[in-house]
Amino acid sequence: MVGNFILDLHPLYNQINLKTFILTSTGFEQQTATKELQKLSTKIFKIQEQIFKLKQTQQFKQRTKERITKVVEYGLKTVAEIKFQQIQFTGKVVVMLQHLFQ
């Protein structure tokens, strides 16, 4: 991914050279260079879109991970509270039984 990204940035360098070429040439050369410049601009725009989409995807994954973590933490806390209440209840029952059999 990073290698492709670096290769995709190379057209930016070409774009700068084409702008210089357009300024120093005339006629047919300018038209050809302008078309190439438009193609490169389109590629750069598409790369920028891909970067934006990747950032959105990463942010979504991060938020989802945080939500799942919160739900799991809440679930574990709830289970621990229930177990504690069961232990307390069991202890009370044992104490009540001890009083009954004394």
| Predicted confidence (pLDDT) per residue in 53-76, tens digit | 999 999 999 999 999 999 999 999
The reported pTM is: 0.48
Cα separation, 67 vs 82, in Å, equals 23
Which pLDDT value is given to residue 59? Answer: 92
Helix (H, G, I), strand (E, B) or coil at 26: coil
Which pLDDT value is given to residue 69? Answer: 94
Helix-strand-coil percent breakdown of the chain, rounded to 5? 95, 0, 5
